[in-house]
């Protein structure tokens, strides 16, 4: 259109205004959810959803009842000789054993035989020499028997029994080392991983078909109270053992010559959930240079079972050297072991034990 001034005024078509209004409305709708922020600004991506960790199947250990992975059932147990003279204390790795046997060697001092099925301590020891009764006990587990040398009587047994998995440091030195912070011979150590690697290398793998059982679905609630136990193994060396129930840990703490037994690495105390005081006959081997004891762990006899602050009489029976020892109550029923570590105190008839009172010859 030409006005009086001679200029032309442009008027956009009606549909163009409609398009502009629609675009503005879309922009407003776009920024509404984010307030005044730029809708084209970088947004941090949402964190990924956590991937669920698959549950590893577990099963109760057939020896001590504690939960273990099923793959551990395929390995051969280890039975390790551990020293208990004052120069060897505190020891390493004892707390990780399923079962620990304590028995005399010479004089009145004892040694431990620690049974490892699933425990894997990085340091075990001090490792010491073998005696015949410890070999008989290790055979119950068809275990790799770990030691450093042996008495003459034990040597004769090991050489005449080829079915024993004899892991002697004198022959297999690689899994062992000396700790220079301690004096020899109280300084020989090993680890579960190194021992099991050697067992695999020797093709000694495979788990025994039958194992001793120290667990049940019952708890001892009968019997006389048993809060403290004092044991004297009898002999020239005056070694005193006291076990005291600790309610917080649900088991018995061990005091050796008045000192709490702890792990040298972790500082944690040993806790016995169950205690078997197994009465046996013992005498010195005739002509033994070191006055080594012949401890009879085959046959049958009596003793005391202690657990959960209670005590009852028990009976034991081992029909031959390689048989599994049976432990029952006076009526021949299986004992109500708690899940956890069991200590078996192999006590000579001459030894003394007292429970909650003066030390006397007992049971």
Asked if 95 and 268 count as a contact pair (C-beta separation under 8 A), the reply is yes
Q: DSSP label at 154?
A: H
User: Which residue from 109, 82, 111 is spatially nearest to 96, judged by alpha carbons?
Assistant: 82
Rg (CA), the chain: 35
The pLDDT of residue 209? 84
In the chain, the domains with their CATH numbers are 59-201 (3.50.90.10), 224-355 (3.50.90.10)
User: Which residue from 299, 214, 263 is spatially nearest to 95, judged by alpha carbons?
Assistant: 263
Asked if 311 and 226 count as a contact pair (C-beta separation under 8 A), the reply is yes
User: Which residues partner with 225 through β-bridges?
Assistant: 310
The pLDDT of residue 184? 95
Tens of pLDDT, residue by residue, the chain (363 residues): 444 444 445 455 555 445 444 555 554 444 444 444 555 555 677 777 777 666 767 899 999 999 999 888 889 999 999 999 999 999 999 999 999 999 998 877 899 999 999 999 999 999 999 999 999 999 999 999 999 999 989 999 999 998 899 999 999 999 999 999 999 999 999 999 999 999 999 999 888 889 999 999 999 999 999 999 999 998 767 789 999 999 999 999 999 999 999 999 999 999 999 999 999 999 888 877 777 888 999 999 999 999 999 999 999 999 999 999 999 999 999 999 999 999 999 999 999 999 996 554 444
The pLDDT of residue 8? 45
Q: What's this model's pTM, rounded to 2 decimal places?
A: 0.84
The pLDDT of residue 288? 76
CA distance 347 to 216: 24
């Amino acid at each position: 259109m030409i006005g009086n001034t001679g200029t032309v005024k442009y008027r956009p078509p009606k549909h163009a205004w409609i398009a502009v209004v629609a675009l503005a409305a879309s922009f407003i709708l776009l920024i509404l959810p984010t307030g005044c922020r730029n809708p084209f600004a970088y947004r941090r991506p949402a964190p990924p959803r956590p991937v669920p960790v698959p549950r590893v199947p577990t099963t109760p250990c057939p020896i001590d009842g504690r939960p273990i992975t099923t793959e551990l059932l395929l390995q051969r147990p280890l039975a390790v000789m551990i020293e208990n003279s004052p120069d060897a204390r505190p020891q390493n790795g004892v707390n990780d054993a399923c079962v620990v046997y304590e028995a005399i060697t010479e004089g009145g001092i004892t040694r431990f035989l620690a049974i490892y099925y699933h425990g894997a301590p990085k340091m075990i020891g001090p490792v010491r020499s073998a005696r015949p009764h410890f070999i008989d006990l290790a055979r119950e587990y068809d275990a790799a028997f770990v030691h450093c040398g042996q008495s003459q009587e034990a040597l004769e047994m090991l050489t005449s029994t080829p079915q024993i998995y004899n892991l002697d440091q004198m022959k297999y030195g690689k899994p062992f080392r000396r700790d220079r912070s301690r004096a020899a011979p109280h300084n020989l150590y090993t680890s579960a991983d190194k021992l099991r690697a050697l067992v695999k290398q020797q093709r000694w793998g495979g788990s025994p078909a039958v194992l001793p059982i120290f667990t049940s679905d019952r708890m001892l609630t009968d019997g006389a109270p048993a809060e403290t136990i004092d044991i004297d193994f009898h002999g020239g060396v005056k070694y005193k053992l006291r076990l005291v129930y600790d309610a917080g840990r649900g088991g018995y703490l061990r005091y050796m010559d008045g000192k709490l037994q702890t792990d040298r690495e972790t500082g944690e105390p040993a806790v016995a959930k169950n205690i078997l005081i197994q009465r046996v006959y013992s005498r010195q081997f005739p002509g033994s240079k070191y006055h080594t004891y012949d401890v009879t762990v085959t046959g049958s006899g009596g003793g005391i079972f202690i657990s959960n602050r209670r005590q009852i009489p028990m009976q034991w029976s081992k029909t031959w050297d390689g048989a599994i020892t049976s432990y029952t109550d006076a009526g021949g029923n299986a004992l109500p072991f708690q899940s956890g570590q069991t200590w078996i105190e192999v006590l000579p008839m001459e030894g003394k034990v007292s429970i909650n009172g003066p030390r006397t010859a007992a049971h």
